Amino acid sequence: MVKKLHHGASPWCTPELVGIVRVNDAYTWVTEHRMATEDVYWSAGCLSNIASTAVFDLTYYADVPDDVASVSVRGTGWSVNGARWDDILVDGLSRTR
pLDDT category at 84 given cuts 50, 70, 90 is: low
State if pTM tops 0.95.
Answer: no
pLDDT of residue 93: 65
The answer to whether residues 67 and 55 touch, using CB atoms and an 8 Å cutoff, is no
Note down the domain range covering 32.
Answer: 2-96
Number of domains in the chain: 1
Chain CA centroid to CA 37, Å = 14
**CA 76, 82, 84 angle in degrees (round to 5)?**
95
CATH number at residue 81: 2.60.40.150
pLDDT, tens digit, for every residue of 65-80?
Answer: 888 888 888 888 888 8
